[in-house]
């Protein structure tokens, strides 16, 4: 790892570590809704994907911060592990009980995770076999950022984001604020 990325990996380790902690809190607080019978196989698959999306950047970042460790092997291993989780999650999502979303929509929700995993795996190979792997050194941080975003997406899907669109939720918040203001104005 070059010294220019040390601040990035330090920030990434902190952010992804915090996301792992928040995911554990969310899973503990809303266990039945996210992991129980109500969530089904899809909920468990999404929980696993979210955990992997946060743990893989954490592990790679921690290895990158060790001065004597070279990044190629941890990146390649993380890419392999990430691809394994993608395959297992895609299988679990498509074989889960039919729900509102089609199999194609369920697979599309894995696409960011799959793309980042493939990029991480390919970058790991480049780092291992190439003497000049500057492109791979740039792709690894990008893949790790996409993994964090994919993890946030999976958590959003876990907490019901697919059932309540962002616009609908925003409109509901605005309506509650307007009603509270009207109630306050009437009280004055």
Query: What was the pLDDT predicted at 62?
Result: 93
- Cβ(44)–Cβ(32) under 8 Å? no
**Between the CA of residue 9 and those of 15, 116, 173, what are the distances in Å?**
10, 17, 37
Of 145, 154, 36, which Cα lies nearest the Cα of 90? 154
16-28 pLDDT tens trace = 999 999 888 877 7
The pair of structure tokens assigned to 128 is: 């291992």
Q: Residue 65: phi, psi to the nearest 5?
A: -80, -15
172 vs 91: which has the higher pLDDT? 91
Query: What was the pLDDT predicted at 42?
Result: 72
76-105 pLDDT tens trace = 999 999 999 988 888 887 776 555 556 666
Extended beta strands in 61-186, E state: none
How far apart (Å, rounded) are the C-alpha atoms in residues 70 and 53?
22
105-164 pLDDT tens trace = 666 778 888 888 999 999 989 988 887 778 888 889 999 999 999 898 888 877 766 555
41-51 pLDDT tens trace = 777 788 888 89
Query: What was the pLDDT predicted at 104?
Result: 66
Query: What was the pLDDT predicted at 16?
Result: 94
Query: What was the pLDDT predicted at 154?
Result: 83
74 Cβ neighbours under 8 A, 6+ residues apart:
59, 60, 63, 64
Of 47, 165, 56, which Cα lies nearest the Cα of 96? 47
- Cβ(99)–Cβ(42) under 8 Å? yes
Sketch the domain layout of the chain as residue ranges.
Answer: 3-187
Residue 127: CA count within 13 A, CB half-sphere? 23
pTM of the model: 0.75
How far apart (Å, rounded) are the C-alpha atoms in residues 139 and 133?
10
């Amino acid at each position: 790892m070059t010294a220019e990325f040390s601040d990035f990996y330090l920030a990434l380790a902190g952010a992804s570590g915090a996301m792992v902690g928040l995911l554990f809190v969310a899973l503990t607080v809303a266990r039945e809704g996210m992991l129980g019978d109500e969530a089904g196989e899809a909920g468990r698959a999404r929980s696993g994907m979210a955990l992997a999306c946060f743990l893989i950047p954490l592990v790679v970042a921690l290895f990158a911060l060790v001065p004597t460790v070279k990044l190629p092997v941890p990146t390649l291993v993380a890419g392999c592990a990430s691809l394994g989780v993608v395959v297992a999650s895609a299988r679990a999502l498509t074989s889960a009980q039919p729900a509102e979303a089609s199999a194609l929509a369920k697979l599309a929700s894995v696409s960011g995770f799959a793309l980042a995993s493939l990029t991480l795996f390919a970058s790991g190979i480049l780092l291992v076999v190439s003497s000049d792997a500057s492109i791979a050194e740039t792709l690894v941080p990008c893949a790790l950022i996409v993994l964090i975003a994919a993890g946030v997406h999976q958590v959003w899907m876990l907490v019901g984001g697919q059932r309540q669109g962002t616009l609908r939720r925003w409109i509901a918040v605005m309506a509650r604020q307007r009603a509270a203001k009207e109630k306050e104005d009437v009280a004055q």
